[in-house]
Amino acid sequence: MLDIPSSVRVDVEALLAAQNHMGVCDAIEQYAPVGKPDTMTAPHFPKVAGIDSTVPPPAHTVAPASPAPAPPSSPGAPGAPGTLIQDRLAGWVSDLTTLHELTERLARTAFMDDALHEVLRAGAALVGARRGLVVLEPADGLGPDTTVGLGLARADLGHIETVPRGATSYGRILDRTDRTGEPEVHADLLSEDGLDPRHREVAARLGYAASFALPLATEAAGRLGAAVWLYDEPAEPVERQRHLVGLYTRYATEHLARLLELERARTKSRTIAEELLPPRLPRVAGVQLAARHRTGPRGGGDWYDALPLPEGALGLTVGSVTGSGASAVAAMGRLRASLRAYAVMEGEDPVAVLSDLELLLRLTEPARSATALFAYCEPALRKIVLAGAGHSPPLVIGERRTEFVETSLSAPLGMLACWEAPSVEFSPEPGETVLIYTDGLLHRSGDPMDRAFARLHAAAAGVPRTIRNDPGAIADHVLHTVLPDGLDAADSDEDVVLLAARFE
């Protein structure tokens, strides 16, 4: 035995005998110091990324083997107890460092799809696999249900889904009535007796020969799904790998549970916002209409509307309420409904419509402000009278011109004691399209406002002649050109609204 301070109380021979049968956290718990250790000699193992060094081993990790006497060796030999202890401690530190890095990367994911891909990549690194899939299927049945693959194309996932559910590792895990965390291990799939013929066929076709599956479940979060990693050759993870991936999946499940609640809240907010907007645009003689709406992950307060008015007129409006989330969506719904009422009563005077809306906002939503634009259109005469409150000017797109409509500078609603601004009247030519939009189109581009306006103008001027007769195609072209590289579809704090009206 080495001369180790008695306060540490580590049986070296027992440690050597159990070194190949014990996970890092098991060993730290087994050989924790008793009493108050010496400052310089007692090892201190930090908590890394929320992982307690005294956490008991997961259910899928076998218990340490009973200590057995170890053959004596000289202190200076390569296999001496001191050297082996140092190597083992170095291995523990390495394992904890790896878990820290992987959990830190997972914690930085803010969306469910990104988190699922990160879980697959980290798990594959821990168990030594190259491919895998995660099946998200919350036990409460509220969804969302999805399957994400690593190294597997969509067609490959489709082939796997043709295997009877009860014959797959993830199917057996998800169909369990209990909440055990036992893994599903198939070290040599193709040689197993009783393997489902379709499973054997798919495995041979995709080229995997072994699988290791774990439930994504904890007592607090319940069962969210299952993760499966696939090996190209017959193989299975060793006990140390199982222990580490078990610790990681526990943390990952808690993180996924938080993202799941957030995703559900986002979905509800988006659904409510969409329901508060017009389900369809009206058909009015002499004008064609199209609208495009992109909402942020938390739901925003941007709106659009088009409503028929007496004597064949048409009211067009877009606007934005400050803030985001459920409260902004609710405020947007109230303002839009009120604006419709004011437009029916006095739509021919856009200034009066916005003045009434400003008074309502100041009395009922004193903590908010809003931008808005209302246009009274007479399609038969191709005449438009509009007023704007802190809103960007409309854009006229035609064969011979692409220009912004000159509007007076005005403050947003709710910013002044009494809002008022002069209206503007103009007449679009036959075949021209008037595009009105919210500021989110400019802000989401990430450019300064002057450059964003220049990009918008260039996009409108570059509309191909073949689609100038289709206001929907014009709106799509402008949206994708101003917001390239998927920014038109990516989640953002900025809502985007475009309303296009083509006059015949």
CATH superfamily, domain at 110-262: GAF domain (3.30.450.40)
Rounded Cα gap, residues 154 and 165, in angstroms: 18
The conformation of residue 465, written as its DSSP 8-state character, comes to G
Phi, psi of 333 (to 5 degrees): -60, -40
Average pLDDT over residues 429-436: 95
| Weakest mean pLDDT among 226-240, 322-336, 360-374, 467-481 | 322-336
Class of domain 277-503: alpha beta
Say whether pLDDT at 65 is over 90. Answer: no
Q: What pLDDT, on a 0 to 100 scale, did the predictor assign at position 85? A: 83
Work out the average pLDDT over 2-20: 39
Average pLDDT, the chain: 82
- Given a cut of 80, whether residue 188 has pLDDT beyond it is yes
Predicted confidence at residue 220, as pLDDT, reads 87
Indicate whether 262 pLDDT > 60: yes
pLDDT category of residue 255 using cuts at 50, 70 and 90: very high
| Overall average pLDDT of the 324-336 stretch | 85
- Confidence at 4, pLDDT banded by 50, 70, 90: very low
- The answer to whether residue 245 scores a pLDDT higher than 50 is yes
What DSSP designation does 488 have?
T
The pLDDT, as a whole number, for residue 180 is: 67
pLDDT computed for residue 239 by the predictor: 92
Three-class DSSP category at 398:
coil
Q: What is the reported pLDDT for 281?
A: 93
pLDDT at position 268, please? 81
Residue type, 378: E
Could you state, in order of their start, the residue ranges of all structural domains in the chain? 12-104, 110-262, 277-503
- Please report the pLDDT score of residue 89 as a whole number: 82
Confidence of residue 79 (pLDDT cuts 50, 70, 90): low
pLDDT at residue 67 is higher than 60: no
Given a cut of 80, is residue 431 above it in pLDDT? yes
pTM of the model: 0.65
Alpha carbons 462 and 444: distance in angstroms, whole number: 20
Whole-number pLDDT of residue 15: 36
Burial of 151 (0-12, 13-18, 19+ CB in 10 A): middle
Between residues 47 and 399, the one the model is more confident about: 399
What pLDDT shows up at residue 8? 36
Token pair for 335: 């303002």
Give the distance, in angstroms, between the CA of residue 67 and the centroid of all CA atoms in the same chain: 48
Work out whether strand 370-378 and strand 313-324 pair parallel, antiparallel, or are unpaired. Answer: antiparallel
Q: How many separate helices (H) and strands (E) can be counted in the chain?
A: 13, 15
- The more confident residue out of 498 and 72 is 498
d(CA 297, CA 292): 17
Judge whether residue 438 has pLDDT over 50.
yes
CA 457 – CA 437 distance, rounded (Å): 13
Give the mean model confidence (pLDDT) for residues 266-275.
79
Q: What is the pLDDT of residue 342?
A: 94
| Per-residue pLDDT, 270 | 76
Reported confidence tier of residue 241, pLDDT bands at 50, 70, 90:
very high
Q: How confident is residue 298, by pLDDT bands cut at 50, 70 and 90?
A: low
59-73, 187-201, 442-456, range with the lowest pLDDT: 59-73
Q: For residue 500, which of 338, 375, 411 has the smallest C-alpha distance?
A: 375
**Residue 437 confidence (pLDDT) above 70:** yes
pLDDT band at 162 (very low <50, low <70, confident <90, very high): very high
